[in-house]
Amino acid sequence: MRLPDTFMNTVRSVHGEKGEAWLQAFPDLIRRCEARWSFRVGEPYSLSFNFAAPVRFADGSEAVLKLGVPNKELTSEAGALRHFGGIGAIRAIEALPEEGILLLEKADPGHSLHSVPEEEAVRIAAAVMAKLHRPAPADRAPFPTVEIWFRGLERLRSRFGGGTGPIPEELVAKAEERLAELRRTPRPHVLLHGDLHHGNILSARREPWLAIDPKGIVGEAEYEPCSYFMNEIDSKDPQGQARRRALTFADAMGRDPDRILRWAYCHAMLSAWWCIEDGVGQADRQVGLALHLDAIIQT
């Protein structure tokens, strides 16, 4: 199986020497998984940070094999799927995150929200979010918090000697100010998916729509829509679209739309830094989204 160059470069960029070693051992890892569970691995899906492909067992049943360099995110993903318990999300059939292996339920037919018109897609995403959210588990050890994620802005300042490098200083400062305001008025924390965008919500038979690829992060529910705002942006009316999305999410979850927009702005700036930190993605795109969000946030 020939892995795409873009995927291999991402693995090397994110994981360094550990990633290179994982790539070298990948053919043997595939063979071990096939022997262990007696399935055959099909052609992989579009790959980003981890390998994922459908598998077929001898009895004709199917699942999805997800492989990655063992890391905290795979551990938190496995924990999140256990916590969701198949309600609004796929189930983990077997999870060996310490080996970088997840065997997952296959969403069938598996069409993403990219194929659904805007208004309907937002309603579906909002309904999935409402299903997923429940109090965070007592054992929070496997899961990062939103607060830990936003330490990324501190790393940004550290990288550039207190400055913000290629990211506009005034936009980062505004994110830091808004983040401080949000922290002064905390909301109850739940276990969030953490990356619930169009590509991570698939059509299925057990439930009409199921979430895949959770990050598993503890934070307030208003943070959940952040990733959704970053996808399928309407170039003709990005601000109107963002406002409508916020109102739909807020209505479905019984939350404050303005608070959702403030979190989305902060997340866009954090994502811009992640693009620079990981050497993956387009920081300028995240900055552009932040500007649109900033224009509609109530001052």
118 and 93, same domain (yes or no): no
Q: Provide the number of structural domains found in the chain.
A: 2
Average pLDDT by stretches of 10, the chain with 299 residues = 92 94 97 96 94 96 97 95 96 96 96 96 96 88 93 97 97 98 94 96 97 96 97 95 96 94 98 91 94 91
Which residues, including other chains, have CB under 8 Å from residue 150's CB and lie 6 or more apart? Answer: 179, 266, 270
Query: Same domain for 23 and 132?
Result: no
54 neighbors 90 (Cβ within 8 angstroms): no
Which of 38-50 are b and which e, b meaning 16 or more Cβ less than 10 Å from the residue's Cβ?
A: ebebeebeebebb
Q: What are phi and psi of 120, to 5 degrees?
A: -65, -40
Q: Are residues 119 and 142 in the same domain?
A: yes
Q: Which domain CATH number covers 92?
A: 3.30.200
Residue 131: which residues within 8 A CB-CB, separation 6 or more?
87, 88
Give the residue from 42, 73, 104 where a domain finishes.
104
Which of 104, 138, 162 terminates a domain? The answer is 104
What residues have CB less than 8 Å from 254, skipping those under 6 apart? none
Q: How confident is the model at residue 299, as a pLDDT?
A: 67
Q: Which of 79, 104, 129 is the last residue of a domain?
A: 104
Domain range enclosing 35:
5-104
Closest CA to 225 of 199, 251, 265, 260: 260
Same domain, 122 and 207: yes
Strands 209-211 and 51-57: unpaired
- Please name the residue that has the structure tokens 């505004």: 174
pLDDT (0 to 100) of residue 279: 83
**Distance in angstroms (rounded) separating the CA atoms of residues 151 and 183:** 13
Do 99 and 130 reside in the same domain of the chain?
no
**Which helix (H) or strand (E) element contains residue 55?**
strand 51-57
Distances (CA, A) of 191 to 98, 127, 133, 168, 177: 21, 16, 6, 32, 25
Residues 93, 135, single domain; the answer is no
CATH of the domain at 210: 3.90.1200.10
Same domain, 174 and 292: yes
Pairing of strands 189-192, 101-104: unpaired
Q: Per the omega criterion (within 30 degrees of 0), is the bond before 208 cis?
A: no
Instruction: Collect all residues with Cβ–Cβ distance below 8 Å to 120 and sequence separation of at least 6.
Output: none
0.85 surpassed by pTM: yes
Q: In 3D, which of 120, 119, 93 has the Cα closest to residue 33?
A: 93
In a 3-state reduction of DSSP, which class is residue 86? coil
Asked if residues 128 and 211 have their Cβ atoms less than 8 Å apart, the reply is yes
